[in-house]
Structure 1
Amino acid sequence: MIKILLCDDHAVVRSGLHVLLNAVPDMEVIGEASEGNEAIEKALQLKPDVVLMDLSMPHGKDGLSATSELKKQLPDIAILILTMHDDEEYLFRAIQAGASGCVLKSAPHKELVDAIKSVCSGNAYLHPAATKRLMDEYLGNLKQSGTDLFQLLSDREKEVLTLIAKGYSNKEIGEKLVISVKTVETHKSNVMEKLQMKTRPELVEYALKKGLLGYGM
């Protein structure tokens, strides 16, 4: 049973989340708080597995401050930030404060439940848009620092890139590597994202510069 503490300054929101989460077989809301100081007090008293923390609370301690303080006092607690802000600034600040993840208030109920289970298991959780922005920023930083993006490719992705550059179709690549066309397309998409390219000719030009056409395949 995952024990959850809700912290949100809106009673209606807390009430809705309480009903929603208690309806999940392996979850139980064991307490509520309307601001950060109360959340810290309740967490120390009730020892929840997960604190669902609102980011913006105008009265009392805000969600970021409460998260930082809670992680100091209860290092093993998982804190999932619940926010309306689809903004990387808030996301980075929440992670720096010690949050295990961040989910939008507009997210479907299933995503919220999955996020709670994820952080309770010791994993991080970011909503899909945030994950993409973090990846984009990471890749951008690598590019600016001069790091070779080729190092990000898996061995299979390098094989697919090489065959693309040699002019093989997705079907032919699948037959050569004994994988499905769909898997080939997935690898190709991953390669393009990691190398920050949008077209096949860009991939071919890149492969030529890397000397991949000299690989025997």
Structure 2
Amino acid sequence: MIHILVVDDHPAVREGTKAILEAEPSVQVECLNPPYTVEEMKKFDFAPFDVILMDLNLGEINGMELSSTILSLHPTSKVILYTGYDVEDYFEEALQLGILGAVSKTESKEKLLDYIRHVINGEIVIPFQYFKGLLDERKPNPIEAEGYDQVFNEREKAILHEVEKGLTNQEIADHLHLSKRSIEYSLTSIFTKLDVSSRTEAVLIAKAKGIIE
């Protein structure tokens, strides 16, 4: 038997969620009625519940704050944000507070129960877009992954050496037997790779990273 506590300040939502979930024979639901204060939370016994479904907007207090209070009093409680808003907007903050995820009120009974079972098992179901964002943040900079020396070709290194001497683009072009336009294109590429906006910065960073000596 799964014991679920629903925390929502709208009676219709509380009773509706209870009715939907209890259509599953193995589920028992209880609703926590207002007021949602620290004093009331201290009086309430959360131990019997496998999962707490927590609404985001609860009048004078929001679900994040209330969840934080509950988890400070009962660290083993498993809380899921249960909201009509875009859950991805709150997922990161929820996890940082110790909430084990967020699920939309628009999900079907089957998906909601599946989510609850994962949380009971100590798992977190992460929305795809949120997870993709995490992966994108962890992708290494191509320069860092390959090494600076491998990312810059010999022409770019030669140009950096000439830039260090204080030569103009035309002087560099004449010295390397290239067109002025080629030098300009190469400098743009160098600036992008080094994430700099000036010739001085480019030389300083290139020397610091060992691209040029």
TM-score, normalised via structure 1 length? 0.58
Q: Which has the higher helix share?
A: 1
**Aligned in 2, Cα 1:71/1:148: closer, same or farther, shift over 3 Å?**
farther
The residue identity in structure 2 corresponding to 1:104 is S
**Aligned in 2, Cα 1:71/1:144: closer, same or farther, shift over 3 Å?**
same
Q: Where in structure 2 are the equivalents of 1:1-217 lying within 5 Å?
A: 1-34=1-34, 36-37=36-37, 40-41=41-42, 43-44=44-45, 47-59=48-60, 61-86=61-86, 88-126=88-126, 131-143=127-139, 145=141
Quick one: distance in 2 between partners of 1:117 and 1:110?
Answer: 11
Unaligned runs of 5+ in 2: 146-213
Quick one: distance in 2 between partners of 1:98 and 1:147?
Answer: 36
Quick one: distance in 1 between partners of 2:80 and 2:89?
Answer: 16
Is the CA contact (8 Å cut-off) linking 1:78 and 1:120 kept in structure 2? yes
The residue identity in structure 2 corresponding to 1:56 is N
Is the CA contact (8 Å cut-off) linking 1:83 and 1:102 kept in structure 2? yes
The alignment's C-alpha RMSD in Å is: 2.7
**Aligned in 2, Cα 1:67/1:53: closer, same or farther, shift over 3 Å?**
same
**Aligned in 2, Cα 1:41/1:51: closer, same or farther, shift over 3 Å?**
farther
TM-score, normalised via structure 2 length? 0.59
Quick one: distance in 2 between partners of 1:41 and 1:29?
Answer: 20
The residue identity in structure 2 corresponding to 1:74 is H
Quick one: distance in 2 between partners of 1:147 and 1:21?
Answer: 52
The residue identity in structure 2 corresponding to 1:99 is I
* Cα displacement string for residues 15-41 of structure 1 (whole angstroms, at most 9, x for unaligned residues): 111111222121111342345438735
Quick one: distance in 2 between partners of 1:141 and 1:16?
Answer: 39
